[in-house]
Structure 1
Amino acid sequence: MAGAPRLFRTKPTERIVAEGGHGEGGELRRTMGLWQLTLFSVGATLGTGIFVILGQAVPKAGPAVVLSFVLAAITALFSALSYAELAGTIPVAGSSYSYAYATLGELVAWVCGWCLMLEYAVSVAAVAVGWGEYVNAFLESLAGWALPDAITRSPGQDGGVVNLTAILIVLLATWVLLRGASESASANVVFVVVKVAVLLFFCAVAFTGFTAGNFSPFAPMGVAGITAAASQVFFSYIGFDAASTAGEEAKNPRRDLPWAIVLSLVIVTTIYVLVAVAAIGAMPWTDFDPEGTEASLSLIADLATGSTWAGLIISFGAVIAIASVVLTVMYGQTRILFAMSRDGLVPRVFERVSPRRQVPAANTLIVTAFVCVLAGLVPLGHLAEATSIGTLFAFAIVNAGVLVLRYRRPDLPRSFRTPFFPATPVLGVVFCFLVMAGLAGVTWAAFGLWMLAGLLCYFLYGYRHSRLNAEVP
């Protein structure tokens, strides 16, 4: 039991902030302002969700799916406010991993970082796999032909050999990331502007065929349908915390990070509600097919215009949306590993900074290799759903961290304070576990196996190499 207290040793907040930006071989470069940080979170959030999830959620709630998006946004808001407070107090690259290290101790921080690895690595691979399908849908609409199954599907899928299209989008994202944080942020701005423009274009087209009668009855499935759809669409909000991983590359992190997180959630919620209202107004909710969700927005646009050109633009927007998610989520993965490496919990190669580009180049290449193997060779299937449970667990830790740090260190300077404390973070924890409770048993089993593997890695490597535990208490 002598080593038990070390498992929960916290790292002083002042030390975490002082170490920010520094890695083996150099420093990260502060280049991002509020606008770029906000769009980083929007880029990670506004992806495949709205193009796919709407078609699955409408049959559960009917026209009241609009309220489901609002309810899911409120659920996400509790965690977003907690993220905003800790991001302004501890503006470093590690996001919720670093927040947990400062508040709940090293073992909890490791668990949080391990959950984020599951969220980021597997979700990037899953999104990359889907990219090839959207590219094919776009090519079929544009030219009437598609890429062969052998290079757009993973082994185990019909006709699949190796998913080269998934590997291609990961490599393209890597090329942008290696050019520097500023270049990555600029590319993401372009991606986000394009996909927001495409979704606003969809709304404009759909509103030309708007029928108010499609909203009656408004809630055919009652409150149960609204809440069931809310649990499903909640996962289209995951990613709003992406700005917090850029804490060491932000120009003014204490001021900008909290606002970037909150603003991104407001922007995404507004777009989701607009798209939902436009979609149901253009097509009766009973016509939504939960099995044919990939093309739901394209189909509505085609019906509204009576031709295929509008659906072609929507398909193009989906391709851009997925590319943006791959870029921003891979960025977040590398910065969290950077912070964990600086603490000694993962090998030091992950904190080496390229002196020329001032990015963790070796880290980025290792993550790329791992994601390429997953995306190109592994049919992920339901394993991708485990990313949601890892994310929710990390959110719960962040909410708990706000409670602990307020009571333990009330003297710390805070550029943003969570309103209605302590109710907000408490409700954040409660809502996270309520949504987790509704997940399937197979998802919990996959999460349990992942956590077991994580604890083995920690005790075999992380605990032995931890720089904090190596010091005299």
Structure 2
Amino acid sequence: MSKTAVKGVAKGANLKRNLGLWAIVGLGLGYMTPTVVFDTFGMVARDTNNVVPLAYLVALIVMVFTAISYGKMAGAIPSAGSAYTYVRESMHPNVGFLVGWTSLIDYMLLPMVNCLIIRSYLEAIFPGVPGWIWVVAYCVLTTSVIYLTMRGTSNLNGILLVFSIIVMAVFIVMVWAQLAGGEGVGSVADMQPFFHDGVTASAVLMGATIVCFSFIGFDAVTMYVEEARSPKLVPRALLLTVALGGAIFLIAGYFAQLRFPAWEEFAPGGDMQFIEDSTLPLMGEAVGGPVLMAVLTAAGFAATLASGLASHASVSRMLLVMGRNNVLPKKYFGFINAKTHTPTFNIVLTGVVCMLAVAFTLEMIAAFINYGALIAFSFVNISVIAWFAIRKGRRKTPRDIFKYIVMPLIGFGMTVILWVNLHLDALIGGVAWTLIGLGYLLFLTKGFKKKVASFDEDQPVTGFNKIPLDEQ
């Protein structure tokens, strides 16, 4: 199909409204990858002094307020898009551009996170094989698949989501039996995972910034507003996705913390490699031996691979949209291969960036991703005030003041608290990336003398929520 035809479909066709509430929630949960609670368990336990579920509880509270703000904006601006769309429409195109630019950190690094997790799984199973081999193999595999096709992955995500949750439930049941038998803290009901001597607020907030990474993906639910049977479903789906995802993380984190009350169990001889990479295989082996280790790793592997394909496809399409709008050089980023009908340049570029997983740890990449996500979350909360209270004048009654000023301000304040507790290196790197975006914005607008080219929310921006390029 020609580029003209693809463009015509993207701009002229309407998406079919065939997604119900639970279908949208399933897509959001699948993108969040529930097994990630075990992947980051070791590093969060270390940083919080062994109160992982408390860190998840703090992050969940922040996410609930932010999800409410996303829901309000999705209802007010029922267009496929996310933070950059809401900020652009409610505040200013230039501010929207900077928020969108910052969000690119999430899009570009999420595939690398999945690669790092897959690498840690395979290193645990095949300890004699150098890690870089798994990184290269993973990047070549995912890049090749997406290079040839970019079909939606919602059905696959649904299957893998159910499989992952079933395996997690089996893990919890086995942990319950071991706790009753005296393992871990020796009890299935204990407040130690939430509070004990030596726990500090600063440590919990630091841990919350890490586990905030686990929730990334819930905001992708807003992308389905044009495919939902009714736009009114999206705000409900947002809250359900956050609530169910938070419940899964809390329950799994609680029982895991009871079974592994000290993070030092994952650092034999003081070796921090097992802390900085995924601890899922180690937890599976400790609870159920080689069999559970294999099953739990398989569940994490499958869910992570599906999420990796989706995130890889997402960033390639985001870059395609930016290329079509001349925000990035259209010749390269806006190119679609005539044979595969995929944005091959963007796909290969993402694969190359993903190979940098050879030199990074999961902890560091998660921190960089959280920088972009938390800024996006902060500005969505501000957008509620800008759109409803200022533009629409919804500030004259106590009810409106509470809904459109007080609640988003609480969400914004909570998000900022997490934001300023980010890892220093991630903060420095994130600010540097934002400043690069500001310089690029000055170039695009010739010193703010003309309007910046906007991100086009009518173009597909994710791997499975719009019409796949090879089906157009």
Q: Taking structure 1 as reference, are residues 465 and 56 closer, same or farther at Cα in structure 2, changes over 3 Å only?
A: same
Q: Distance in 2 between matches of 1:118 and 1:148?
A: 28
Equivalent pair of 2:132/2:358 in contact (CA under 8 Å) = no
Q: C-alpha separation between the residues in 2 aligned to 1:275 and 1:466?
A: 45
The match for 2:138 is 165
Specify the alignment match of 1:393 in structure 2. Answer: 375
Amino acid at match of 1:459: L
- 1:378 CA drift (Å): 6.2
The corresponding residue for 1:206 is 175
Q: 1:277 to 1:208 in 2, by over 3 A?
A: same
**Aligned equivalents of 1:261 and 1:353: distance in 2?**
32
Deviation digits for residues 303-347 of structure 1, max 9, x if unmatched? Answer: 334x31011111111211211322333454356456656765446
TM-aligned CA deviation for residue 389 of structure 1: 0.8
* Partner residue in 2 for 1:262: 239
How big is the shift at 1:99?
0.6
Cα contact 2:316–2:350 (8 A) shared by 1 = no
- Post-superposition Cα deviations, 1:49-103, rounded to whole Å, max 9, x if no partner, equal 3122222222444564322211110011111111111112222222111111111
CA contact (8 A) 2:147 2:342 kept: no
From 429, 436, 440, the equivalent of 2:419 is 436
Q: 2: distance between equivalents of 1:27 and 1:465?
A: 28
Query: How far off is 1:259 after superposition?
Result: 1.8
Cα offsets for 1:116-162 (capped at 9, x unmatched)? 11111122123224323323434x4xxxx865545224xxxxxxxxx
Structure 1 residue 329 corresponds to structure 2 residue 307: no
Q: 1:402 corresponds to which residue?
A: 384
Could you tell me how far apart the structure 2 residues matched to 1:296 and 1:418 are?
45
Secondary structure in structure 1 of the residue aligned to 2:58: helix
Segment of structure 1 superposing worse, 313-322 or 443-452: 443-452
Q: What is the RMSD computed on CA atoms of the aligned residues?
A: 3.6
Counterpart-to-counterpart distance in 1, 2:388 and 2:139: 44
The residue that corresponds to 2:355 in the other structure is 376
Q: How does 1:44-443 map to 2 (within 5 A)?
A: 44-46=31-33, 49-61=36-48, 64-138=51-125, 140=126, 149=131, 151-153=133-135, 163-172=136-145, 178-179=150-151, 181=152, 184-210=153-179, 211=182, 213=186, 215=190, 217=192, 218-224=195-201, 225-248=203-226, 250-252=227-229, 254-285=231-262, 288-289=265-266, 291=272, 292-293=274-275, 294=277, 296-305=279-288, 307-334=289-316, 336-337=318-319, 340=322, 345-346=327-328, 361-363=341-343, 365-376=344-355, 379=358, 381=360, 382=364, 385-410=367-392, 420-443=403-426
For residue 463 of structure 2, what is the aligned residue in structure 1?
none
Structure 1 letter corresponding to 2:207 = A
Between the aligned residues of both structures, percent identity stands at 21
Task: Kindly state the Cα deviation for residue 174 of structure 1 after the two structures are TM-superposed.
Answer: 5.7
Aligned partner of 1:446 among 425, 429, 435 = 429
Aligned to 1:157: none
Deviation at 1:194, TM superposition (A): 1.8
List gaps (5 residues or longer) in structure 1: 1-20, 154-162
Q: 1:174 to 1:388 in 2, by over 3 A?
A: farther
Instruction: Give me the TM-score of the superposition, normalised by structure 2.
Output: 0.77
Letter in 1 for 2:348: A
| d(CA) in 2 for partners of 1:462, 1:121 | 24
Q: Structure 1 residues 259, 337: closer, same or farther in 2, change over 3 A? A: farther
Distance, in Å, in 2 between the alignment partners of 1:344 and 1:66 is 44
Give the distance between the partners of 1:56 and 1:132, measured in 2 at CA: 17
The one-letter code of the counterpart of 2:424 is G
**Compared CA separation, residues 253 and 462, structure 1 to 2 (3 A):** farther
Are the aligned partners of 1:346 and 1:462 in contact in 2 as well (CA < 8 Å)?
A: no
CA shift in 2, pair 1:69/1:441, >3 Å: closer
Q: TM-score, normalised by structure 1?
A: 0.77
Tell me the SS of whatever aligns to 2:231. helix
The aligned amino acid for 2:287 is A
> For 2:96 and 2:133, how far apart are their aligned partners in 1?
39
Shift of 1:256: 2.2
Mapped partners of 1:322, 1:377: distance in 2: 18
Q: How big is the shift at 1:348?
A: 5.9
CA distance in 2, matches of 1:63, 1:236: 18
Matches of 1:352 and 1:366, distance apart in 2: 7
Shift of 1:175: 5.2
Q: For residues 130 and 299 of structure 1, do their structure 2 counterparts lie closer, same or farther at Cα, with a shift above 3 Å needed? A: closer
- Residue 403 of structure 1 and its aligned partner are, at CA, apart by 0.5
